[in-house]
A and B are shown apart, each in its own frame.
Chain A
Amino acid sequence: MAVKELYDVIVIGSGPGGLAAAIAAKKAGADDVLIIERDIELGGILLQCIHNGFGVEIFKEDLPGPTYSQRFIKEVRALGIETMLDTMVLDITPLKKVYASSKQHGFVVLEARSIVLAMGCRERTRPMIRIPGTRPSGVYTAGTAQRWTNVEGYLPGKRFVILGSGDIGMIMARRLTFEGAKVERVLEVMPHLTGLTRNYVQCLLDFDIQLQLRHTVKRIIGNDRVEAIESVKVDEKWKPVPGTEEIIPCDTLLLSVGLIPENELSKKAGVLLDPRIGGPIVDDSFQTNVPGIFAAGNVVHVYDLVDWVTEAGYVAGNAAGEYAIKERQKETGSITIQAGDNVRYVVPQMLDKAHLTDKPISLQMRVINPIEDPVWVEAHDGSNLVARKAERYVRPGEMVTLKLRPKHFDDVRKAGTLTISVNPK
């Protein structure tokens, strides 16, 4: 693929949010739409979500993650949207320059008329929740374990304890059980489930996996590989209750303790974040505080249903597409209006090409010398006559007007300079 330097819309990330945004931008009329994705395939996190539960709202079907995203990938291909895979975006500027790096394309600097941020989210890690203990192998975020199991084809352990009753954790509990691993326990520090009840029933209850609410990991044990974890009950103030400690032997601790919108790039572009959720502050078209930078999906806030991510992508992509079109019209720039034969001055002196839409534009002028016979008032682009009208006479004391009408606009647009002259017929 030949990489262009300037795109109407660049979408960063190809999860359901990014795919929908690219599709909508293209449908809104943007010509050059590019998706940049750091993974080797399009699809985002859905590629590793091989369980079903996706698309119930949009398609009224219960699809596995990859099948859901495949429908959008097909459309992306059919619409001729460009993609750069295995490419990491490293930097974005407020002026919408995008710096990205990959094996195939090298280090590239691209420019976009508008950008859609669709980088999704990342998982909270062990240090963020400050679990004490040793630092052995075998402490993974649920998403990393999910990637290993579902994409790479390896089980990351045999006996698991899962901390956190979020959906990814519960879904992994079932997935690992299918694989013949033992899930000893799911621990949840809150007094209630944090994921969907549906997942509790289908992933834990149906497989006799024990969920302990108000419990957490007090410490991790084992120098090389996890050997056990010590769990403990917590009270209403999240303080450990002495005497409730239990050593649970296991070789892996999975953390499913929350997602954080991935906004390191957004910050570099000057995008303001909502401190409560860590995602950009957006308007109703998902535009951020930086004009022309939009955001959609988990990068804004963490969704529970993928269908709503897709919808958000459509809104943001459509707005980004429209924004790009306006920009393009503006850029095409302005036309200088010059006084020619027997004309002292013309107002306006400049025409904005973006305004050449459906309304006529009046050019007002005064002549230098009176002509008491019929004259042509003409607008020329070099030797090409763009528009003219007749007057019975002209006098310096009386203003003359020439109207450019939509039927003239195609010719006007091609001109760099329009020269206005008044000559006898």
Chain B
Amino acid sequence: MLEKYDYIVIGGGVVGSVITRWLSKYEGSVLLIEKESDICMGSTSSNTAIVHAGYDPLPGSLKARMNVRGNEMWDTLAGELEFPFERRGDYVVAIGEEEFSNLTTLIEQGKKNGVPGMRLLMGDEVRSLEKEINPEVSGALWAETGGICDPFAITISAAENAVVNGAKVMLNTAFEDFIMDGDRIIGIKTNKGDFGCRWAINCAGLYSDVVMHKAGVRPEFKIIPRKGEYFVFDRADITVNNVLFPTPTEKGKGILVTTTLHGNTIIGPNSVLIDDKEDRSCTTAGLDEIWEGAQKLVPGLKRKHIIGMFAGLRPYGNGPCKTPGIDYQHDYIIEIPEKVKGFVNLGGIESPGLASSPAIAEEVVAMLQDAGETLKVKKDWNPIRRSRPRFRDMDHKERERMIRLDPRYGRVICRCENVTEGEIIAEIHSPIPATTYDAIKRRTWLGTGRCQGGFDMPRVVEILAGELGVSPLEITKKGSGSDFLSRPTKNVEGK
């Protein structure tokens, strides 16, 4: 017998996870499948983590609407799911007169998009607000609704909340094809077997083109990965506590200088079209490009303060991906195509896809209702997901109390980010269990500091092995094939 679901969501990035959370509110069964060993390993794992205000997208686009509405929804969502989010506003910084005049265009665009709380600042004001800024700053666009987030936290907490409300999440499960009955999707084929569904929802990010083609939808639409690279700085050495965008120019969008929620300055991303959807490698040319680009906003950056680097891929849609009534390229596709029944098709959800994700979920639910779904809220739906204790954020008293309750919270495993054994174990036994090193890293930020896991790695491998009841040889960094250790040493083997 085929296992049947009302809704199957393909892809566990922020978009798939937030949609799953939205659907878990209603009666009906939901399955989220993700091909990797954890959710949040695609585009959502490597980006700038900005919740954009919404002055960037072209007025009238679906992207603009999703961005502005999405931004509005973050406070409530962060409250319900207890993930960190800070609405600290953002700056578009102008250097020189010419750039300053471009800011007016941006403000106009923002107004058309319905972005509240934008203001032009003069050079002096900007200099007094951000001490690291290039002294030649001529002014900035200030948008008070801009925010920063932890992309892992929203994605994981949304999926966890969905699980608690009855949704099922299957990891290491890759979509392969649709099972059709005429023009209706009635199920999917995966490497873990077939599953029946009434609706399939395409949230496959970089692979959303492949998935829609399997349904015979938009065969001309193609995702081209667009790489962006980053450097992360030691917060002990430099802190730019603001989100600083350069003013977009003819030459491109430029390189940002911004901050993580944990106070680490980051710079990036560049923008390079590539052809391999799995190629998240950093390149010499790319790293040079972001280094030089960032000097424009903050000339005082020092290479010796770099502690991390990474690259992400944007799902850049090149095709004539027109939403009904909207006539230009690179907009989001969010549709229920006419010629295939039981299919919600999303594609090209590039930046600001993270910021837009709550609005996209809301939009999908509205579309399903329009298509005749009677969505009834579950009687016992619980919108609240509690965050788990974080040693790093506790004051002395709270730490004392926590360790008295559970001594494992007293053992610090990550020396730079102060993550404890108790936290790691809690993540291993959470609603979406963390079973790899990177899964724990995503949930706790362990290993992201200046020693980059050099200290915690052997200890985390040991804890994982202990909790999962397997040998340390079986513990991986990010799933099958990425093991840490190859065999016991000779003296141990001899024993």
Contact = CB atoms under 8 A, between A and B. Distances in A.
Asked if A and B are interacting partners, one says yes
Interface in A17-75: 38
A369 interface: no
Contacts of B280: 134-135
A90 interface: yes
Given A106-B410, A137-B484, A179 B490 contact: yes
A156 B486 contact: yes
A44 to B, nearest CB: 13
B273 interface: no
A327 B449 CA distance: 37
Interface in A286-344: none
Nearest to A219: B281
B contact patch SS:
mixed
B283 to A, nearest CB: 5
Interface in A121-160: 122-123, 125-128, 130, 132-138, 140-141, 143-144, 147-149, 151-158
B477 to A, nearest CB: 4
A149 B232 contact: no
6 contacts: A102-B411, A103-B411, A152-B458, A154-B485, A219-B284, A264-B416
A107 B454 contact: no
B408 A158 contact: no
Contacts of B462: 152
B486 A158 contact: yes
B492 A130 contact: no
A105 interface: yes
Interface in B406-429: 407-408, 410-412, 415-416, 418, 420-421
Nearest to B291: A130
A224 interface: yes
Interface in B291-327: 303-304, 306-310
A101 B280 CA distance: 38
Interface string B452-495: 10110110001000000000110011111111111111111000
B208 to A, nearest CB: 21
A223 interface: yes
Contacts of B473: 154
Interface of A: 38, 86, 88, 90, 99, 101-107, 109, 122-123, 125-128, 130, 132-138, 140-141, 143-144, 147-149, 151-158, 179-180, 218-220, 223-225, 251, 264, 267
Nearest to A278: B304
A290 B352 CA distance: 49
Contacts of B485: 148, 154-156
A352 B282 CA distance: 65
Contact of A224 (B455, B481, B489): B481
B15 to A, nearest CB: 23
Contacts of A144: 454-455, 457-458
A326 B387 CA distance: 49
Contacts of B415: 38, 88
B488 A153 contact: yes
A123 B287 contact: no
B399 interface: yes
B421 A103 contact: yes
B454 A143 contact: yes
Contacts of B457: 140, 144
A170 to B, nearest CB: 19
Interface in B265-285: 278-284
B489 A125 contact: no
By size class, the interface of chain B is 35 or more
Contacts of A105: 410
Nearest to A275: B304
Nearest to B412: A88
Nearest to A178: B490
Contacts of A132: 281-284, 286-287
B124 interface: no
Contacts of B477: 136-137, 224
Contacts of B492: 153-154
Given A107-B399, A134-B281, A148-B458, A225 B451 contact: no
A106 B407 contact: yes
A119 to B, nearest CB: 10
B306 A123 contact: no
B482 A136 contact: yes
A106 B310 contact: no
B476 A137 contact: yes
Contact of B418 (A90, A106, A154, A225): A90
Interface string B384-398: 000000010000100
A101 B452 CA distance: 21
A251 B482 CA distance: 10
Nearest to A125: B452
Interface in B348-380: none
A101 B412 contact: yes
A122 B454 contact: yes
Given A107-B403, A137-B483, A127 B306 contact: yes
A99 B399 CA distance: 11
A107 B410 contact: yes
B481 A225 contact: yes
Nearest to B421: A103
Contacts of B136: none
Contact of B486 (A134, A135, A157): A157
B472 A152 contact: yes
A141 B411 contact: no
Contacts of B284: 132, 218-219
Q: Could you say which of A103, A133, A220, A223 has the most chain B C-beta atoms within 10 Å of its C-beta?
A: A103
B130 interface: no
Given A130-B287, A137-B476, 7 more contacts: A88-B411, A101-B420, A140-B457, A144-B455, A148-B484, A179-B490, A225-B482
Given A132-B287, A225-B482, A101 B489 contact: no
Given A101-B412, A132-B287, A153-B492, A125 B487 contact: no
Nearest to B286: A132
Given A38-B415, A127-B232, A224-B480, A154 B403 contact: no
Given A103-B408, A156-B485, A157-B486, A137 B478 contact: yes
Given A154-B472, A156-B486, A180-B490, A101 B306 contact: no
Contacts of A107: 396, 399-400, 403, 410
Contacts of A157: 486
A142 to B, nearest CB: 10
Contacts of B478: 137, 224
B454 to A, nearest CB: 5
A133 B304 CA distance: 20
Contacts of B481: 224-225
A130 B309 contact: yes
Contacts of A148: 458, 484-485
Contacts of B2: none
A48 B430 CA distance: 34
B236 interface: yes
B214 interface: no
B489 A38 contact: no
A210 B476 CA distance: 30
Given A122-B454, A141-B454, A149 B489 contact: yes
A122 B482 contact: no
A193 to B, nearest CB: 24
Contacts of A135: 280-282, 310
A180 B487 CA distance: 11
A138 B458 CA distance: 13
A224 B418 contact: no
Q: Could you say which of B236, B279, B403, B418 has the most chain A C-beta atoms within 10 Å of its C-beta?
A: B403
